[in-house]
Structure 1
Amino acid sequence: MATDAAYRATAGGPLDVDRAFYDALSGATESRELVDRFTIPVRSGRAWEVPAGHLCRLVTVEGPQVGDLNVWNLHDPRERLWASRTRQLQRAHVSTYDRLWSTLPFLRPLLTVTGDTLAGYGRDAEGGRVHDLLGTRCDPYVNRMLTGEDFDFHCHSNLVRAVLPYGLTEFDVHDVLNVFQCTGLNENDQYFMKACPARPGDHFEFFAELDLLCALSTCPGGDLSVPLWGPDARDPLDVCHPIGVEVYRVDPGLLSGWSPPERAAYRNVHGMTSPAWGDGKR
């Protein structure tokens, strides 16, 4: 018997997505206006802005490639993707109509997924699914621990370099959405990665609920068909490909009735009493 999800939607609540609204955004491809397009080369990273009410599409332009995505509120980077809470509120592998949620004390959707050409992949024979929030970015610290070697182009490092022009640092880089990545848990409840099933032209598209700063790393593991660690590890450069990014302005008429989500309503300071400064005493 299936076990019910712990976090469930109430009718009309923030987990109860207006699918017709997002379907209209996704389907109106002829009326959208391209405002930004670029390609992120292999083993690198880039940051970019997506204004609220715009669509952003990530594309495997040449072949299968995993991308590690970070997302912040453009105007306050303390508000950023909360991967673990998104796993609870949505699921561990996201697709169309799922939302990526922000950290406390904000707790609101940063974006909503509107398009996913890999949605039909489902769950494979080993339990693998795509677009995961289970794992996080590869990084040079773990690599040094496992191999004794330094490598400066892990996803963590790529993201660190990408956000520097926005005044952010390594401390702002956070747990990622692994776009196009196929992962799961094995019989020992251990995280595994499989070869990316994406093909040229596959895409993952989302709607910006707030003004966003996004950053993406083209993983140095490429399509993850080659082991990165362990006795069979080898350099997977041959299976690395770029990822394209496209940002679109949508027909304003499609946004009628939509507004950016408000931050969480809780304001009770966790049962603590705020000091009164009006008596002139410090």
Structure 2
Amino acid sequence: MTDVAAAYRAAEGSILDIDQAFYRRFVERQEARHLIASHTVPIRDGLAWEVPAGHVFRIVVSEGPQVGDLNLWNLHNPRERFWASRTRQLQRAHVSTFDRLWSTLPYLRPMATIIDDSLADYGMDAEGGRVHDLLGTRCDPYVNRLLTGEDFDFHCHSNLVRAVMPHGLDERDVHDVLNVFQCTGLNDDDQYFMKACPARKGDYLEFFAEIDLLCAMSCCPGGDLSVDLWGPEAADPLQTCHPLGVEVYAVDDALLEGWSSPTPAPYRGGHGLQRPQVDWAAIKAVNESNGQ
């Protein structure tokens, strides 16, 4: 490990300087939240659901270890969606409590804040693995075809495509994900690796919705990733697949005191583009000559 400072650092009091006490109250005051929706994401399938701003949602390991691929959109404007790479820079490559999921340009605002994580103490293991991955992205049938020469329609990309279609979205709207419960890192050759999921029944990752959200998640066809998906030892990991649970909670208004949904980034510049200059005097003269 190195002690080189992070590149993306903010001044005190910026939007990156999170009020941890505010978000802790949603965890500490369990009696002040109320379950309003409960969903199951079946194995090798996807699901989309809505979360209003100021609500909490939880992803739960309901039966056994399982990786989930999570996408987020602004419910009212799908052009604003989760930006995995900028989140990786502003937060870290593996996220946990008090990290935020940021949206794409030109909006660039927190979409959700992680408020609780049962795997927060996992840290980094002996092989350099960490959980809740932003290094990689969803598995997809295009890469699978390149690596194996075979078609398989239930990769996370395809699962997410099917999940969002009832909401008026299509394949072009599916984007890089947060790999929930997935343990990954970089090996000595700077190559991406995946390890068996360390989550167990009852583990969870919990979020506070900063804006109205459309969420979608795939139950990865790789299950807990204990079986290689590609390479000489690849096998069908069906026996390692389990469903995931989703819970959505409303919270008492008192817990939201002092909070407001974040607005889009305030940059209003013109990107250095030259705008045509309007000659109002000439326009006035022409209008006067025309009797206007």
Scaled by the length of structure 2, the TM-score of the pair is: 0.94
Deviations 1:66-88 (A, max 9, x none): 00000000010000011111010
For 2:216 and 2:276, locate their aligned partners in 1 and report how far apart those are by CA, in whole Å: 40
Query: 3-state SS of the aligned residue for 1:121?
Result: coil
User: Which ranges in structure 1 are unaligned for 5 or more consecutive residues?
Assistant: none
CA drift at 1:269: 1.6
Structure 2 counterpart of 1:258: 259
Deviations 1:154-203 (A, max 9, x none): 00000000000111010000000000000000000000000000000100
User: Which ranges in structure 2 are unaligned for 5 or more consecutive residues?
Assistant: 285-292
Structure 2 counterpart of 1:152: 153
For 1:273 and 1:256, locate their aligned partners in 2 and report how far apart those are by CA, in whole Å: 44
Aligned length: 280
For 2:34 and 2:225, locate their aligned partners in 1 and report how far apart those are by CA, in whole Å: 34
For 2:119 and 2:216, locate their aligned partners in 1 and report how far apart those are by CA, in whole Å: 21
Structure 1 counterpart of 2:35: 34
CA drift at 1:275: 4.8
Query: 3-state SS of the aligned residue for 2:31?
Result: coil
Query: 3-state SS of the aligned residue for 1:184?
Result: strand
Task: From the CA coordinates, give the structure whose radius of gyration is larger.
Answer: 2
For 1:276 and 1:138, locate their aligned partners in 2 and report how far apart those are by CA, in whole Å: 50
Amino acid at match of 1:272: L
Deviations 1:31-70 (A, max 9, x none): 2010100111100000000000000000000010000000
Structure 1 counterpart of 2:194: 193
CA drift at 1:9: 2.8
Query: 3-state SS of the aligned residue for 1:57?
Result: strand
RMSD: 1.3
Structure 1 counterpart of 2:288: none
Amino acid at match of 1:142: V
CA drift at 1:273: 3.2
Alignment of 1:59 with 2:60, yes or no, is: yes
Structure 1 counterpart of 2:166: 165
For 1:115 and 1:181, locate their aligned partners in 2 and report how far apart those are by CA, in whole Å: 16
Aligned positions of 1:230-249 closer than 5 A: 230-249=231-250
Amino acid at match of 2:228: P
For 2:69 and 2:91, locate their aligned partners in 1 and report how far apart those are by CA, in whole Å: 19
For 1:131 and 1:250, locate their aligned partners in 2 and report how far apart those are by CA, in whole Å: 25
Structure 2 counterpart of 1:98: 99
Structure 1 counterpart of 2:49: 48
Aligned positions of 1:46-125 closer than 5 A: 46-125=47-126
For 1:62 and 1:47, locate their aligned partners in 2 and report how far apart those are by CA, in whole Å: 20
For 1:122 and 1:128, locate their aligned partners in 2 and report how far apart those are by CA, in whole Å: 8
For 1:225 and 1:207, locate their aligned partners in 2 and report how far apart those are by CA, in whole Å: 30
Structure 2 counterpart of 1:206: 207
For 2:96 and 2:11, locate their aligned partners in 1 and report how far apart those are by CA, in whole Å: 20
Q: Comparing 265-274 with 79-88, which one deviates more in the overlay? A: 265-274
For 2:196 and 2:124, locate their aligned partners in 1 and report how far apart those are by CA, in whole Å: 14
For 1:77 and 1:269, locate their aligned partners in 2 and report how far apart those are by CA, in whole Å: 23
For 1:143 and 1:271, locate their aligned partners in 2 and report how far apart those are by CA, in whole Å: 42
Q: Comparing 271-280 with 211-220, which one deviates more in the overlay? A: 271-280
- Find runs of 4+ consecutive structure 1 residues off by over 6 angstroms: none
- State percent identity of aligned pairs: 71
Structure 1 counterpart of 2:133: 132
Structure 2 counterpart of 1:181: 182
For 1:160 and 1:41, locate their aligned partners in 2 and report how far apart those are by CA, in whole Å: 15
Deviations 1:79-130 (A, max 9, x none): 0011111010000000000000000000000000001000010000000000
